Chains A and B, each alone.
Chain A
Amino acid sequence: MRSPWVALVLLASTLSFAAPPSLKLWHGYRGGEEQAIEQAAKAFTAATGTQVEILAVPYDALSSKLTSAIPHEAGPDVFIFAHERLRQFHRMKIVAPSGPGLEPSKYLKPAVDALELDGKFYGYPLSIKCLALFMRDDRGLTAPTTTDALEAQLTAASNPAKNEFGLAYEAGDFYFHAPILFGFGGQLFDAQGRAQFETPAMEKSLAWVKSLQDRHLMPQEASGALVKTLFNENRTAMVISGPWFTGEIDPGVKYSIHPLPMVSETGLPMAPFLGVEAAFVSSRTTQPEAAEALAKFLAVGDATVMRVITGRQIPAELAAYENEAVAKDTMISAFRAVAERGTATPNTLEMARVWEPMKLALRAVLQGGVSPHDGGPLAGRRYRALNREAPPTTSPVPYVVVLVLGLVALVTWQSRKAKGKSFKQRYPEAGRGLAYVAPAAAGLAVLVVVPFVIGLSLSLFHHEAGEYSFVGLANFTDILTSKGYRITEPLSFYFTLVVTLLWTLANVVLHVSIGLFLAILLKEPLLKLRGVYRVLLIVPWAVPNYITAMMWKGMFHRQFGAINAILGMFGIEPVSWFAQWSTAFAANVITNTWLGFPFMMVVSLGALQSIPTDLYEAAEVDGASKWTQFRRITLPLLRPALLPAIILGSVWTFNMFNIIYLVSGGEPGGGTDILVSEAFRWAFQRNEQYGFAAAYSVLIFFVLFAWSQVTKRLSGEEQA
């Protein structure tokens, strides 16, 4: 009896073995590097017969995708990432240690060292990234070895009147500032390994960069795009950038690559951070040997040569430098020389916590809001606020008791209300009604209500590295007492709440007034081309809002944005939109107004058309002015249609994450963040503090709930 089943199982298992084995590889590469990795994966398939399914994810999204997918067994077998996150990946248990295939002596020493954690190695080093000095050959400059020499050359090469600079680099990014800090003798970590910001070297390094900018030796608010353009158009003689920059340089431009100079004052070299990209094996892979083989394959031999030649990477494998084609490549050897002076970015958790505070301080100093002296303390304060200590774990028993009692009370109250009539009498059609609702209710229960309840309860937990601990109301008390920062600082709940309310109010007022005004114009029956105008004016509504946001962000770009170009036509100086709170907030509001007025226009138009025209005619006969007609007829009759739209619009705007996140991104210093984007940051950008973020969301929920009660009363009055 049993044999057919056994045969079936056997058949099924052979079938599953018969399918060619395949491995999943995730990376964040683009362009040449992506091509190189695809070539290498093909070579692996040719050599072993194992297929490789590649997924390219934008680098900034890759980490969160890895940490959410791998624990749910939906992740890759092998992934490529920079080593800085290794400690975090290790804590979340998503990365497996390297097997005996890794021979440390075969790679550049700083590269393997970077992959070591507590005596074990993780992953296979692929390539190195670090900063170097790019110089245009046609300027006839010699590579500066000290900052004094550099400044002399910059002064000669800059021409502020013609917007020409000596040097350009992304000064607002701490990755670029770190070598300068080290050159001034700065240490990022104290003896206990804690981050430190309030040091003399920090102040000196900030002051030095600020002085370069103030003397117009380098541009303000340089983005990668600006740096590239300036270099290609010969409007800067030098650039500080990494190997990826070689792909950005126009083919006709001759250039050379040099180590960063030494700081004259200290005699210390500007030692750049060394990033090591490695192929890591996932801890959850079902094929550990094959995955390990793929990771190793990518790191050595032919694959390395492909990555160097096609991907323009600086290889970690020593043997690659012996290769004829690689040895001839001056860019590769120049970077190797630079790399030998560099220090690998520490792969500690503490390192990951430095970026956001330092970015804040750098931008604040460069934009002139804060003196170099106060930059360090500013970063220190932000650091302490972001890295909140875990609240003490408490017992969930009292909370459960309260919850159960509450539910019991609710149920008894409800059932008392139902006394008197029988169920059938009260609800004669309940069967059909429920049957119609059931499918929707089932879907909602599983995919909306359950996540909602879980989201609510998450706010009572603290989340760290994949583990939750019950902390009761501690998240709420921390938020509401503004623990760790002043009430007037952007991180405080109250500050963000005020910004959110201002944001909502400004938008709703603008949406309604512009929408209503246009609707009144368009209502005019004698107007020709009404349809055309109406169609053109609802265009913004049809554009997906993340596209709108990106588009406006581009238009507000300081150097290349259309808005500053238009202001320039009127002789107005270009505005750094995201440098001050007021202009950044205005930029957000302008974007959202553009996006939101058509909705209000359409609603108003519909409502206006439903107002009988004889009312106006009668009013005219009675001699009422246009203004009186508007106040006495239009507004009262519009109210029932406009009120729900306004309520809906206010809730949408209150939670309008995309615009804030993509346009101002919270700049300057988180000041323009609203509550939702703040919750998002706590959840996904600051050590995944889901509990804290959930507490934020619950507070958002309470605010909106209170608002809905107010509006209910408003519309209630309406109906009465």
Chain B
Amino acid sequence: MDKKKTIIFAEDTVHIAKLLKFKLEKEGFNLIHFASGVGVTDGVLQYMPDLVLLDIMMPVKDGLTVLKEIKSNPILSKIPVVLLTANSHEEYVVKGLQLGATDYILKPFASAELVLRIKNILKMQ
């Protein structure tokens, strides 16, 4: 039997985070949630997830800072990172892709599409 894939995701909007957890766990993923960018890089080091899903706009520590930390660490830099951001912040997406993000999803998003894209990225790894 396949080992459950682990996803770390950082998202500060509580209900959306719970919905994503519900949807992705139903798809057989193991989810670890952070309510802000604080501690995410340590979490990635500890759990070595198969994918990281990062909201860009978060209090205290934003997603791009976390992405930079992950990509500058040679142990973690191969882990795919998917960015989640508001439609109006496309310039952050460009910056994120330059920093090494694998893909991005704009809010508002369809949860089914998000699940599909995560599956595709994991399949390609």
Same complex origin of A and B: no
